[in-house]
């Protein structure tokens, strides 16, 4: 029975109700002052509390999508482990990206489009980092149209928070639907989206860092991922074509990738992101005792001590409900040209999907407009005007 299945949640709620009813029924028999009755009352109360906590934890996990499976929760998932024995071997097209499933999406509501994009389930393998992960690749409707047959498309990497599940980017934040609608309304150019989570070595929260002696997550996202996607899809081969967006931990990673690797990503969006990596029980030792590595992953330190990168970033927060409000104001104040900044600041909103769903309809098109748009063959476009406007 899956961790996120409704059957398990209903069962847990039923057990909680049964435990409560049993306690009410047996309480008169346990009201004596004997040690057996006292132990019975203690056991009954503990049982009710454990049953209620289990049901509550399952409900919260199902809503926020912290863990997608028992293996994810227990840290036994193999997704993200090292899979390439020889790090010197070149990764070919078939080894870099495995396409596991392909599905056609319906046309977006409220637009004149005749069809939506498509969604592929893939496994991506990294040669340098020796890491792998599953992801979803959204292909815009134009990807299969004749006038775009030789065209390179812009690419957006969309990241969850930690621990997060990739499926939340589809079911809760609805990235494919938003992209379909924005492209159909010409609010952003036709763009390929790769939906994934930053947790490549579960259950560890690596904060997207190349950990000394540990997982090389930053190398995966800034070197392996663009290379692998370039072998499987028609994506642009320069930073001008690439952007990255994420929420919470994914937002921190997005900003860091653009600021530390402007030659890989030209723009980033952080939805409720933060600005430095925190070390806690989920991260372990991230820096191997290196104060310099710690500083380099502190985005505020970078703004104050290093030349600003020539990238565009959008950050979001809320005046009430978000803990990063002041830190975001400090980040915006510290950024200087050639770095360009933009922001979405809500009057109120918590650190949750509801808030990010309010911000994404503006944030995603903004990011798409920062990237190099596809350059269509004008002869083919003129020959197929209906397809070009779909």
Q: What is the greatest pairwise CA distance in the chain? A: 92
Residues 108 and 51 in one domain: no
Instruction: Specify if 256 maps to a domain.
Output: yes
Q: Tell me which of 72 and 183 has the higher pLDDT.
A: 183
Check whether residue 98 and residue 247 sit in a common domain: yes
Q: Does 254 lie in the same domain as 143?
A: yes
The rounded mean pLDDT for the chain is 87
Is residue 77 in a domain?
no
Based on the domain organization, do 46 and 140 belong to the same domain? no
- Whether 25 is in a domain gets the answer yes
> Does the pLDDT at position 68 exceed 60?
no
CB atoms within 10 A of CB 109: 11
Clarify whether residues 22 and 123 are in a common domain.
Answer: no
196 and 264, same domain (yes or no)? yes
What residue numbers bound the domain in which 366 lies?
83-379
Q: Give 86-130 pLDDT, tens digit per residue.
A: 333 333 344 689 999 999 999 988 887 788 999 999 999 999 999
Nearest to 274 by CA among 369, 223, 177, 208: 208
The answer to the question of residue 34 being in a domain is yes
Residue 75: inside a domain, yes or no? no
Q: Are residues 236 and 175 in the same domain?
A: yes
> Are 92 and 213 found together in one domain?
yes
| 91, 56: one domain | no
pLDDT digits (tens, 9 = 90+) for 313-322: 999 999 999 9
Of 85-89, 93-97, 295-299, 359-363, give the lowest mean pLDDT range. Answer: 85-89
Residues 113 and 45 in one domain: no
**Is residue 337 assigned to a domain?**
yes
What's the total number of domains in the chain? 2
Q: Could you say which DSSP state residue 27 is in?
A: G
Distances (CA, A) of 336 to 251, 308, 311: 20, 6, 11
> What pTM did the predictor assign?
0.80
Same domain, 110 and 186: yes
- For the segment 277-305, the average pLDDT, to the nearest whole number, is 96
In a domain, 1, yes or no: no
Beta strands in the chain (DSSP E): 97-104, 118-125, 132-139, 155-159, 192-196, 242-247, 267-271, 312-320, 340-348
72 is a domain residue: no
The pLDDT value recorded for residue 66 is 53
- Residue 81 scores a pLDDT above 50: no
């Amino acid at each position: 029975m899956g961790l996120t299945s409704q059957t398990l949640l209903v069962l847990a709620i039923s057990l909680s109700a049964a435990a409560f009813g049993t306690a009410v029924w047996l309480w008169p028999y346990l009201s004596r002052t004997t040690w057996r009755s006292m132990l019975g009352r203690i056991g009954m109360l503990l049982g009710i509390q454990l049953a209620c906590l289990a049901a509550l934890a399952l409900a919260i996990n199902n809503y926020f999508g912290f863990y997608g499976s028992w293996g994810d929760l227990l840290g036994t998932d193999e997704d993200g482990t090292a899979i390439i024995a020889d790090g010197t071997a070149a990764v070919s097209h078939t080894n870099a990206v495995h396409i596991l499933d392909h599905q056609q999406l319906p046309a977006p509501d409220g637009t004149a489009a005749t069809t939506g994009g498509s969604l592929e389930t893939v496994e991506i393998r990294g040669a340098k980092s020796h890491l792998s992960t599953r992801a979803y690749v959204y292909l815009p409707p134009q990807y299969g149209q004749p006038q775009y047959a030789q065209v390179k498309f812009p690419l957006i990497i969309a990241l969850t928070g930690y621990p997060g599940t990739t499926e939340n980017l589809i079911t809760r934040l609805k990235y494919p639907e938003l992209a379909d609608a924005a492209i159909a309304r010409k609010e952003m150019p036709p763009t390929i989206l790769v939906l994934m989570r930053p947790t490549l070595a579960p259950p560890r929260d690596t904060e997207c860092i190349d950990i000394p002696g540990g997982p090389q997550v930053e190398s995966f996202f800034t070197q392996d991922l663009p290379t692998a996607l370039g072998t499987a899809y028609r994506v642009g081969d320069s930073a001008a074509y690439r952007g990255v967006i994420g929420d919470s931990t994914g937002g921190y990673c997005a900003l860091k990738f653009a600021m530390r690797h402007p030659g890989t990503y030209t723009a980033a969006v952080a939805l409720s992101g933060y600005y430095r990596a925190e070390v806690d029980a989920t991260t372990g030792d991230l820096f191997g005792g290196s104060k310099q590595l710690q500083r380099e992953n502190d985005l505020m330190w970078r703004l104050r001590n290093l030349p600003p990168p020539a990238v565009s970033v959008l950050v979001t927060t809320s005046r009430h409900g978000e803990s990063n409000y002041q830190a975001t104001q400090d980040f915006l104040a510290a950024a200087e040209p050639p770095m360009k900044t933009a922001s979405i600041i809500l009057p109120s909103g918590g650190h949750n999907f509801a808030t990010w769903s309010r911000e994404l309809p503006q944030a995603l098109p903004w990011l798409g407009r920062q990237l190099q748009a596809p350059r269509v063959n004008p002869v083919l476009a003129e020959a197929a005007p209906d397809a070009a406007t779909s």
